[in-house]
Amino acid sequence: MIKSFVYTSILVAGIFFVNLYYSAQVLAAEKGHSDSHKHGEKGHSDKHEDGQKRQLDSHEHGVSVLKIAAEKNMIEMELESPANDIVGFEHAPENEKQKSQINKALAIFKDKKGVFMPTPAAGCKITGHSAEFESDPSSGHAGFHVKWKMSCSNPSKIKNLSTSFFKSFPKAEEIEVEVVSDAGQKEIEWEKDQNKIQLTLSK
């Protein structure tokens, strides 16, 4: 009788532990799976999100970063701006007014006239763009991330880049411009009192 009770207890305990062990395995497997799944699925965009977070953490209010990459007749531009410079706050919108401020800014970035315009004689046209507002509650910062793609019929005619950015967003003070093109690598400090900067993208 006692023997059988002990045996049953051990059996029950055994089943319990096996179950526990099994659940833990499944959990671990699920966790592992969902992690690797995420990475596999998002790959590039994960990288981008990490980069964006770093950018939000480390950005300096008043200072935007504009990366320009040019190859042949294609130009890609990527702008990172602190949301404080664009809409005056750095958190997710809390009311209709803030939502509309964000939407207005996004509309300016997506305007087909563009925000950064190369010399008109170069015949550059925007062929694609994306603009998003991103907030990072853990750092208390938020920003705008904008990309433009351009195609230019005569890129050798590019002598400068003009902008409506400082006019549209008076809180912005400066843009750090990083250019990579056939003409090499260049960094330009663009202060708000300059409507245009000199820019050459071919040798």
What does the binding site for Zn ion look like in residue numbers (CB under 5 A)?
82, 90, 141
Which lies closer to Zn ion via its Cβ, residue 62 or residue 123? 62
Which lies closer to Zn ion via its Cβ, residue 82 or residue 118? 82
Closest CB 54 distance from Zn ion, rounded Å: 13
Compute the distance between CA of residue 146 and CA of residue 55 in angstroms, rounded to an integer. 13
Which lies closer to Zn ion via its Cβ, residue 149 or residue 171? 171
Closest CB 60 distance from Zn ion, rounded Å: 8
Which lies closer to Zn ion via its Cβ, residue 82 or residue 114? 82
Closest CB 34 distance from Zn ion, rounded Å: 31
- What are 110-117's contacts with CB under 8 Å, separation 24+? 114/148, 114/150, 115/79, 115/146, 115/148, 115/163, 115/164, 115/165, 115/168, 116/66, 116/77, 116/79, 116/148, 116/161, 116/162, 116/163, 116/165, 117/161, 117/162, 117/163
Residue nearest Zn ion, CB atom distance: 141
Closest CB 20 distance from Zn ion, rounded Å: 47
Which lies closer to Zn ion via its Cβ, residue 80 or residue 90? 90
Distances (CA, A) of 1 to 10, 11, 29, 79, 116: 14, 15, 41, 79, 88
Closest CB 32 distance from Zn ion, rounded Å: 35
Distances (CA, A) of 182 to 30, 51, 57, 155, 156: 48, 26, 32, 11, 11
Closest CB 81 distance from Zn ion, rounded Å: 10
CB 175 within 8 A of CB 162: no
Q: Which DSSP category does 164 fall into?
A: S
Which lies closer to Zn ion via its Cβ, residue 120 or residue 140? 140
